[in-house]
Amino acid sequence: PRKQRKLGQFFGAP
Amino acid sequence: MFEARFETGETLIKIVDAMKELVEDCNIDCSTTGMSMQAMDQSHVSLVALMLQKEFFGSFRCDRSISLGLNLLSFSKILKCASKEDAITLKAEDGGDVLTLMFESKDGSRVSEFEMKLMDIDSEHLGIPETEYKAVVTMPSGEFQRIVRDLGIIGDTVGIGCEKDGVRFSVTGDLGSGNVVLKQNTSADKPDLATLIELEEPVELSFALRYLSLFTKATGLSPQASLSMSPEVPLVVEYKIDDETASYLRYYLAPKVDE
Q: What is the per-residue pLDDT across B94-127, written as a single tens digit (0 to 9) for each?
A: 989 999 999 999 999 999 999 999 999 987 788 9
The interface pTM score, or ipTM, of the predicted complex is 0.93
CB-CB under 8 Å, B127 with A11: yes
Mean pLDDT of chain B: 96
d(CA B85, CA B135): 38
d(CA B101, CA B98): 10
Give me the residue from A1, A6, A13 closest to B44, CB to CB. A6
B251, β-bridge pairs: B48, B237
B63-93 tens-digit pLDDT: 999 999 999 999 999 999 999 999 999 999 9
CB-CB under 8 Å, B259 with A5: no
Q: State residue B223 phi and psi, 5-degree precision.
A: -70, -20
Q: Chain A: residue nearest B258 by CA?
A: A2
Q: Is B255 on the interface with A (CB under 8 A)?
A: yes
CB-CB under 8 Å, B234 with A10: yes
User: Binning pLDDT at 50, 70 and 90, where does residue B201 land?
Assistant: very high
E strand segments, chain B: 2-6, 25-31, 34-40, 46-53, 59-62, 66-71, 87-92, 98-104, 111-117, 135-140, 157-162, 166-173, 176-183, 196-199, 203-208, 224-229, 235-242, 247-253, 256-258
Measuring CA to CA, which residue among B196, B218, B170 is closest to residue B46? B218
Q: Chain B: residue nearest A12 by CA?
A: B127
Which residue of B44, B212, B237, B259 is the best one to mutate when testing the A interface, meaning the one whose CB has the most A CBs within 10 A?
A: B44
